[in-house]
Amino acid sequence: MIKRIFAIGDIHGCFESFRELVESKIKLQQNDKLILLGDYIDRGNQSKAVVDYIIKLHDKGFDIVPLRGNHEAMLLDAIENVERLPIWIYNGGSKTLESFSIKSLKGLDHIYIDFFKGLPFYYSYKNFLFVHAGFNDEIDNPFDDQYSMIWWCRENYSNPALIDKTIIHGHCLITVTNCKERVQANHQVIDLDTGCVFSDMVGYGRLTALELNTKCLYSV
C-alpha cells in the first residue's frame, strides 16, 4: 500500500475543525505521514487544545511533522525579549494566553516552550518541500534563510535547489477554489492556508488538507 502523505495549512486555534479534518475527513492512520505547516496558535480560541492534540497524536505513534510558523516564532521572540511582546499580542497572542489560562508567557509550561522551540523550519520528503511561508530564491543556499521560511511566500522558484521540487506552504491566504485550481494545474507551489480562522471573510473560513499522492483536497 502506498503511504498517504498529508499536509494541513494554518490552524490558528481552530481545534474543532482540526480534529474533524484529521478524524472524520482524512481519517488519519498510523502508517500515514502528516505534515503541519505551522501557525497552530493565535487568533482562534483553542490554541492550547490544538497543541495538545498534536502532542497527543505524536505520543500515540502517528507520523506527525509539525513545522514552525511565524506565530510560533513571535511567541518565542516574546519569551526571549519582552520588547517583542506587543507585536505578538497584536497578532493574536492574547487569544493564546486566554487559551492557556495564563496572564503572561512566564506562566507557559516548559512542555509547550520545548514544543515550540523544537519545531523545524522546513521538511523535505521525496520531491516535496514543506515550509510555512517560502524560501529565499535569490541566495545560493535557500535553506540558510530561516526568516524567509516563516514570513515570505513566492509563487515561483528558479533556484537550482528548488526548481525541481513541489513546494507546499501556508501563511498566505488563498480560497479553497484557487487552491484546487493550483493543485489541478500541477503548480510548482501549492498554498494551503484557506483561512480557517477568518470565517467572516467570503471564500475563506476553511481548514484544508492535501494528500500528495492522489492530489485530493479535504476541507472543513
Domain extent listing, the chain? 5-219
Provide the pLDDT for residue 2. 73
- Predicted model pTM: 0.97
Provide the pLDDT for residue 1. 66
- Residue for grid cell 513571535: 74
Q: Which three cell numbers stand for residue 22?
A: 484529521
Round to whole Å and give the CA distance between 50 and 21.
Answer: 12
Residues of the chain with pLDDT under 70: 1
Return the CATH architecture of domain 5-219: 4-Layer Sandwich (3.60)
Please state the separation of Cα 186 from the chain's center in Å: 21
> pLDDT of 142-194, one tens digit each?
999 999 999 999 999 999 999 999 999 999 999 999 999 999 999 999 999 99
Round to whole Å and give the CA distance between 11 and 15.
Answer: 7
DSSP string covering 92-130: IIHHHHHHTT-SSGGGS-HHHHHHHHT--SEEEETTEEE
Round to whole Å and give the CA distance between 95 and 19.
Answer: 19
Round to whole Å and give the CA distance between 193 and 178.
Answer: 11
- Residue for grid cell 481519517: 27
End-to-end CA distance of the chain: give it in Å, rounded: 27
Q: Which residues contact 79 (CB under 8 A, 6 or more apart)?
A: 105, 108, 113
Round to whole Å and give the CA distance between 150 and 148.
Answer: 5
Round to whole Å and give the CA distance between 9 and 37.
Answer: 5
Of 123, 42, 35, give the one whose Cα is nearest residue 76.
42
Provide the pLDDT for residue 51. 98
Round to whole Å and give the CA distance between 122 and 34.
Answer: 14
Q: Do 37 and 7 form a contact (C-beta atoms < 8 A)?
A: yes
